[in-house]
Amino acid sequence: MAVSADRASGAFFLLFGLAMYFYVNPVYIETVDGGNLAPNKVPNIVSIIVAVCGAFLTLKPTAHQVRNPILMVKTGLYVGLLVAGIYAMSWFGFEYVAPILALAIMWMIGERRPLWLGLGVVGMPVLIWFLVTQVLERALP
Amino acid sequence: MVDFATILAGFGDAFTLFNLAFVLFGVVLGQFVGAVPGIGPIMAMAIAIPFTFGLDPLPAIAFLVGVNKGGLVGGAVPAVLMNTPGTPDAAATAMDGYPLAKQGKPLKATKMALFSSITGDTFSDIVLITVSAPLAVLALKMGPIEVVALMIFAFSILAGLTGNSLTKGIIAAGLGLLVASVGQDPENFTPRLIFGYWDVFDGLPLPSVAIGMLAISEILHRMSEAHGNVQSAIVAKDTGNPDDRRVTWLEYWSCRYTMLRGATIGTILGALPGIGSTAAAFMSYAMTKASSKDPGSFGKGNIQGIAASESANSAVVGSNLIPLLTLGIPGSVGAALIISAFMIHGMQPGPLLFENQGRLVYGLFGAMIMANFVNLWVGQVGLRVWVKVVSAPESIIFASAILLCIVGVAMATSGLFGVAIMLIFAVLGYLMTSFGYSLVIFIIAFFLGPRFEKSIAQSLALTNGDLTQVLKSPVAVALLVLSVISVVWFLRKNAQAEQG
Amino acid sequence: MNPKTKLLALGASVMMAFAAPAAASDWKPNGPLTIQIGFGAGGSTDTMGRVLAKVMKENTGWNIVVENKPGGGGVAMFTGLSQRPAKGDLIGMGVSIPVLVQLVNRGDQLLFNIDSFDYLGTVAKAELALVASKDAPFDDLEGLIAYAKAQGTLPVATMAPPQVLMMKQTMAKAGAEFNLVTADGGAEVMKLILGGQVLAGFGSGEHYPYLESGDMKVIAGANQARLSYAPEVKTFIESGIEAYVDPVFFLAMRDGTDPAATEAIAAAIDEATKAPEFAEIVQNAVKGDPLNMGPEGTHQMMVDGLANAKVLFAK
């Protein structure tokens, strides 16, 4: 690869640190009168350190290689699945979404055996439901 | 000073079959709930407290002590068996525990964690029971300036964990500190970097960040690797050699210095409120690795690594009770829950506790001793069950773990908002490991960050911003000198490791 | 239907069967009723809240869950409460003063105001005191000010913005200089005093054991009236500093909650505050008796408190 992983992440942190220092911190941190340690002191110092280290890393990268891009894409799919699942939970509740989410995850991993699918899709959610609402008397999300 | 008759009466109160039953019940519950991914030891305590309302003080306290100690042992289980620590202090245990489990020796790995956890716990219990009063006085002398110095020392030891790039380690720590600064600033209580989300006014919820970063990100990584290929999460190989399924006395004995060091670090840090078990576990781990003749074997299933981490993080929990009982100051979230339970049961921690309620305190100590034995015994059985559980196919393990993490975090943070944050940090954690940034350094910085900043603000207030005042504190100066030495030493070690 | 969808449908129907809500005749919570405490575990609000919940649960049979949601003296919790739908399943418990001070100083940014809630009642009044180690070379606020002037400056521990504002008023009025050290709650204030890092600090109950053991003494009362447990000690007002706080522990729900629900819950709270068991814990926590102002009285207390806070604490 022409661009090593470290150069890429170093450049990212350089920009990130600068963005924090020049834009985010001034806008989203209040200033106060007096006091000993201004609210923006520590975030500002840390932002600068991150930016400097990022720059240094861009100039002197290690030989680190990123994970296999195909694996990262697959992970992205799982993340998308979880986002959808959690979003659905906020609408329909855990009881209805959990079995579907469990089925989707297990299916994607490659599980096809009905017994294990049944355990994961019905058994586990029922067990969680029983423990949380009946034993602990808490509400499910 | 409490007279001997009170001590005897207290222990006498504790050692009854009735109390033993409650200790046993507590330990079983703690080990079980503490081991469930996404729930963990602190949640176990929070869940258990309401159950004690109907009980008399001593059985109630015995039960909670059982849950607390059982949770400690349980907390190491997902870290070792699945590499998905539910609490950051168990992350250090995972570094050698999981590789050992993956080699087909899950029972050996978990048992080593159990034995060293109980060793560290017992050590700090003994310190608590015998010399808590003088230790508490020493802890009082550690003012904000000394705490800042101590935390700098803790950070310096992390240099031993940065691996091949110090720059990346610093970036990881910086990110942790930045994330920790979300919420309110420690001195003026103004909202900071909350972007209009008042839900995070108290900071990003710790369970969301810890479980997202450490557990979910690992599960995401493993799910992507398992794609289309279903196997057991952990296979306990039957090599025919029984030593692969247990910890021999020789192995245990070979870790004695490691455990002693871990227990000492844990006891000292536990007696000082606010530093916590995560720093203790990693300090102990880094020191053990650095002093080892074979540092290259760490991270590949060295039992010394497990012993270092577990003895230290368990010792913290016992000695957390030192400032709690003598001064009424909780040193951690877990300790705050304990003090809350004590007060509900009419026990008033503070200077008069031993005088007014000596019998109850020694009853508590008695319950702690019982709990350590029960923990050992229940652990032997419980660990077998967990090893069996994780030999189920990865598909069901990962799916269940994700559901449990969602429910656990939702319960701990009261809502799906915390779950969404968990997912964000899972993705961040995944990206960080993909690009070679240390998650544990991030997490330690995140956990220590608020206390660090608060202590700096307090020190500046006390010294009027005049940093030369630091020189008046010999403890602070000594710690700062040690920090410089340790950074230099660890960097040279790292450089040597790279060449050799 | 293929086997997977069958399984799925089966799973969903099993879930639905379990999740069917029970029919309600009289008002009672639909599922667990949560009390969120705006402070961390182990403090006086936490202890009183947990025992209150316990007594309410015993009296009513409702399933009551207690959670801690600390931050900003209760502001984090009340913000969350104000953003949740008014389903009658969430109660917030906090202390009046820190919330009122934030409303005065940052009202335009907060997502709630005092009308965002239906008030249920109060449980107790808190007494705030400025305390010092027994060896401190002063016994009252005048002495403290004189000593600070003699020393040039004097470290004092505070734990919340109202106390900082009180000390700043003292500085302005008396011309003395204090180093204000912000501590993480009353327990840490006690640690700083005992460790000798600060010479005085504020306590809202954490100092009682030390008064009893003789390790500490009260320098000044920070309420409008004198402290019930130290009636000989003067207040800030009596020492010429026109500032006081009268924190009240209160409970509230999101406004627009079903009146049947707020009525039933307020009645349950009132019943619980009369229980001897609760009185005992209140005595332990704030050295006073339980005090329930009722829904109307609580609302009035907040309205009056806001007006007062505007005078005392506006920037």
Q: Are A95 and A73 contained in the same domain?
A: yes
Q: Which of C131, C134, C184 to mutate to test the interface with B (most CBs of B within 10 A)?
A: C184
Nearest-angstrom CA–CA distance, B423 and B38: 13
Report the number of distinct structural domains present in chain A: 2
Mean pLDDT in residue range B117-135: 90
Nearest-angstrom CA–CA distance, C235 and C228: 12
Kindly list the residues from chain C whose CB atom is less than 8 angstroms away from the CB atom of residue B203. Answer: 71
Parts of chain C belonging to CATH 3.40.190.10: 129-221
Given this model, what pLDDT does residue C315 score?
Answer: 59
Q: Is the pLDDT of residue B497 over 80?
A: no
Of residues C11 and A75, more confidently modeled: A75
Nearest-angstrom CA–CA distance, B464 and B428: 39
Given this model, what pLDDT does residue C72 score?
Answer: 76
Mean pLDDT in residue range B320-332: 82
Instruction: Report the CATH number of the C129-221 domain.
Output: 3.40.190.10
Q: How do residues C276-304 score in pLDDT, each as one tens digit?
A: 989 988 988 888 889 999 999 999 999 99
The reply to whether residue B339 touches residue C183, judged by beta carbons under 8 angstroms, is: no
Local confidence band at A1 (pLDDT 50, 70, 90 cut-offs): very low
Could you tell me the residue range of the domain that residue A24 belongs to?
5-59
Q: Which of B343, B416, B475 to mutate to test the interface with C (most CBs of C within 10 A)?
A: B343
Pairing mode, strands C200-203 and C129-133: antiparallel
The b-or-e profile of B26-36 (16+ CB within 10 A means b, else e) is bbbbbbbbbbb
The reply to whether residue C213 touches residue B352, judged by beta carbons under 8 angstroms, is: yes
**Average model confidence (pLDDT) for chain A?**
90
Interface of B with A in 152-171 (CB under 8 A): 164-165, 167-168, 170-171
Q: Are A39 and A88 contained in the same domain?
A: no
Any chain A CB within 8 A of the CB of B404?
yes
Chain C neighbours (≥3 Cβ pairs under 8 A) are A, B
Q: Are A78 and A100 contained in the same domain?
A: yes
**In a domain? residue A64:** no
Interface of C with B in 278-307 (CB under 8 A): 280-281, 284-285
CB B321 within 8 A of CB C188: no
Local confidence band at B350 (pLDDT 50, 70, 90 cut-offs): confident
Q: Is the pLDDT of residue C32 over 60?
A: yes
Pairing mode, strands C178-182 and B191-192: unpaired
What is the separation of C-alpha B119 from the centre of its chain, rounded to a whole number of angstroms?
15
Mean pLDDT in residue range B257-284: 89
Interface of C with B in 61-80 (CB under 8 A): 65-67, 69-73, 75-76, 79-80
- CB-based burial label for A70 (10 Å; 0-12, 13-18, 19+): exposed
Kindly list the residues from chain C whose CB atom is less than 8 angstroms away from the CB atom of residue B135. Answer: none
Kindly list the residues from chain A whose CB atom is less than 8 angstroms away from the CB atom of residue C18. Answer: 95, 126, 129
Kindly list the residues from chain B whose CB atom is less than 8 angstroms away from the CB atom of residue A66. Answer: 434-435
Q: Are A73 and A112 contained in the same domain?
A: yes
Q: Is the pLDDT of residue C182 over 60?
A: yes
Interface of B with C in 254-273 (CB under 8 A): 273
Mean pLDDT in residue range A45-68: 90
Mean pLDDT in residue range A35-42: 90
Comparing B191-195, B270-274, B287-291, C208-212, which segment has the lowest mean pLDDT? B270-274
Q: Is the pLDDT of residue B370 over 70?
A: yes
Interface of B with A in 434-453 (CB under 8 A): 434-437, 453
How close is the nearest chain C Cα to the Cα of B21, in Å?
A: 24
Interface of B with A in 239-268 (CB under 8 A): none
Mean pLDDT in residue range C265-273: 94
Nearest-angstrom CA–CA distance, B114 and B5: 34
CB B398 within 8 A of CB A107: no
Local confidence band at A83 (pLDDT 50, 70, 90 cut-offs): very high
Q: Is the pLDDT of residue B193 over 50?
A: yes
Q: Which of B329, B463, B464, B466 to mutate to test the interface with C (most CBs of C within 10 A)?
A: B329
The reply to whether residue B396 touches residue A30, judged by beta carbons under 8 angstroms, is: no
Nearest C-alpha neighbor of C159 from the set C73, C245, C94: C73
Mean pLDDT in residue range C179-192: 89
Kindly list the residues from chain A whose CB atom is less than 8 angstroms away from the CB atom of residue B47. Answer: 136
The reply to whether residue B328 touches residue C111, judged by beta carbons under 8 angstroms, is: no
Nearest-angstrom CA–CA distance, C72 and C97: 11
Mean pLDDT in residue range B136-142: 83
C131, β-bridge pairs: C201, C218
Q: Is the pLDDT of residue B393 over 80?
A: yes
Parts of chain C belonging to CATH 3.40.190.150: 33-126+247-313
The b-or-e profile of B278-292 (16+ CB within 10 A means b, else e) is bbbbbbbbbbbbbeb
Any chain C CB within 8 A of the CB of B49?
yes
Chain A neighbours (≥3 Cβ pairs under 8 A) are B, C
Most confident option among A48-52, B321-325, C80-84, C101-105: A48-52
| Residue after which a domain boundary falls, among A19, A38, A59 | A59
Given this model, what pLDDT does residue C311 score?
Answer: 81
**% of chain B exceeding 70 in pLDDT:** 97
Any chain A CB within 8 A of the CB of B396?
yes
Q: Is the pLDDT of residue C18 over 60?
A: no
**Average model confidence (pLDDT) for chain C?**
87
Of B49, B198, B348, Cβ closest to residue C79: B198
Joined tokens for residue C265: 């819950």
Chain B to chain C, count of Cβ pairs less than 8 Å apart? 142
Q: How far is CA B185 from CA A49, B163, C164, C165, in A?
A: 20, 32, 15, 17
Kindly list the residues from chain C whose CB atom is less than 8 angstroms away from the CB atom of residue A114. Answer: 3, 7
The reply to whether residue A57 touches residue B226, judged by beta carbons under 8 angstroms, is: no
Joined tokens for residue B281: 């576990």
Given this model, what pLDDT does residue C83 score?
Answer: 86
Local confidence band at B51 (pLDDT 50, 70, 90 cut-offs): confident
Q: Are A15 and A47 contained in the same domain?
A: yes
Comparing A69-73, B5-9, B326-330, which segment has the lowest mean pLDDT? B326-330
Local confidence band at C1 (pLDDT 50, 70, 90 cut-offs): very low
Angle between helices B256-271 and B277-291 (to 10 degrees): 150
Mean pLDDT in residue range B170-183: 94
Q: How do residues A85-113 score in pLDDT, each as one tens digit?
A: 999 999 999 999 999 999 999 999 988 89
Q: Which of C6, C13, C16, C18 to mutate to test the interface with A (most CBs of A within 10 A)?
A: C18
Chain B neighbours (≥3 Cβ pairs under 8 A) are A, C
- CATH architecture label of C33-126+247-313: 3-Layer(aba) Sandwich (3.40)
The reply to whether residue A74 touches residue B227, judged by beta carbons under 8 angstroms, is: yes
Any chain C CB within 8 A of the CB of B197?
no
Write the CB contacts of A105 (distance below 8 Å, at least 6 apart in sequence).
A78, A81, B223, B395, B398, B399, B402
Given this model, what pLDDT does residue B498 score?
Answer: 64
Q: Is the pLDDT of residue C3 over 70?
A: no
Q: Which of B33, B47, B51, B181 to mutate to test the interface with A (most CBs of A within 10 A)?
A: B181
Q: Quick one: CA torsion of B23, B24, B29, B34, rounded to 10 degrees?
A: 80
Write the CB contacts of C225 (distance below 8 Å, at least 6 apart in sequence).
C235
Q: Which residue has the tokens 């033993």?
A: B20
The reply to whether residue C4 touches residue A103, judged by beta carbons under 8 angstroms, is: yes
What chain C residue is nearest to A128 in terms of C-alpha separation?
A: C15
Backbone angles phi, psi at C259, to 5 degrees: -55, -30
The reply to whether residue C65 touches residue A100, judged by beta carbons under 8 angstroms, is: no
Local confidence band at C116 (pLDDT 50, 70, 90 cut-offs): very high
Any chain B CB within 8 A of the CB of C163?
no
Given this model, what pLDDT does residue B171 score?
Answer: 95
The reply to whether residue C187 touches residue B461, judged by beta carbons under 8 angstroms, is: no
Of C54, C71, C209, Cβ closest to residue B352: C209
Given this model, what pLDDT does residue C14 score?
Answer: 45
Angle between helices B217-226 and B394-412 (to 10 degrees): 160
Query: 3-class SS at C245?
Result: coil
Local confidence band at C19 (pLDDT 50, 70, 90 cut-offs): very low
Nearest-angstrom CA–CA distance, B340 and B50: 11
Interface of A with B in 65-104 (CB under 8 A): 66-67, 71-72, 74-75, 78-79, 82-83, 86, 89-90, 94, 98, 101-102
Given this model, what pLDDT does residue B1 score?
Answer: 55
Q: Is the pLDDT of residue C23 over 70?
A: no
Q: Is the pLDDT of residue A20 over 70?
A: yes
Dihedral over Cα of B163, B166, B168, B170: its sign? positive
Q: Is the pLDDT of residue C25 over 50?
A: no
Q: How do residues B68-93 score in pLDDT, each as one tens digit?
A: 899 888 989 999 999 998 788 889 99
CB B77 within 8 A of CB B85: no
Given this model, what pLDDT does residue B227 score?
Answer: 61
Nearest-angstrom CA–CA distance, A63 and C55: 63
Nearest C-alpha neighbor of C159 from the set C214, C252, C222: C222
**In a domain? residue A140:** no
Q: Is the pLDDT of residue C162 over 90?
A: no
Given this model, what pLDDT does residue C284 score?
Answer: 83
How close is the nearest chain B Cα to the Cα of C293, in Å?
A: 24
Nearest C-alpha neighbor of A30 from the set C189, C102, C179: C102
Q: Is the pLDDT of residue C24 over 50?
A: no
**In a domain? residue A141:** no
Backbone angles phi, psi at C183, to 5 degrees: -105, 165
Given this model, what pLDDT does residue C20 score?
Answer: 39
Chain A to chain C, count of Cβ pairs less than 8 Å apart? 50
Q: Furthest-apart CA pair in chain A: how many Å? A: 67
Given this model, what pLDDT does residue B499 score?
Answer: 64
Any chain C CB within 8 A of the CB of B424?
no
Q: How do residues B422-448 score in pLDDT, each as one tens digit?
A: 999 999 999 999 999 988 889 889 988
Q: Is the pLDDT of residue C250 over 50?
A: yes
Nearest-angstrom CA–CA distance, B96 and C9: 43
Mean pLDDT in residue range C120-148: 94
Mean pLDDT in residue range A65-84: 90
Q: Furthest-apart CA pair in chain B: how many Å? A: 68
User: Can you tell me the ipTM of this complex?
Assistant: 0.94
Mean pLDDT in residue range C130-139: 95
The reply to whether residue B199 touches residue C80, judged by beta carbons under 8 angstroms, is: yes
Nearest C-alpha neighbor of B272 from the set C191, C41, C140, C231: C191
**In a domain? residue A93:** yes
Of A99, A117, A138, Cβ closest to residue C15: A99
Nearest-angstrom CA–CA distance, B333 and B347: 19
| Residue after which a domain boundary falls, among A59, A79, A105 | A59
Mean pLDDT in residue range B195-222: 89
Q: How do residues C218-242 score in pLDDT, each as one tens digit?
A: 999 999 999 999 999 999 999 998 8
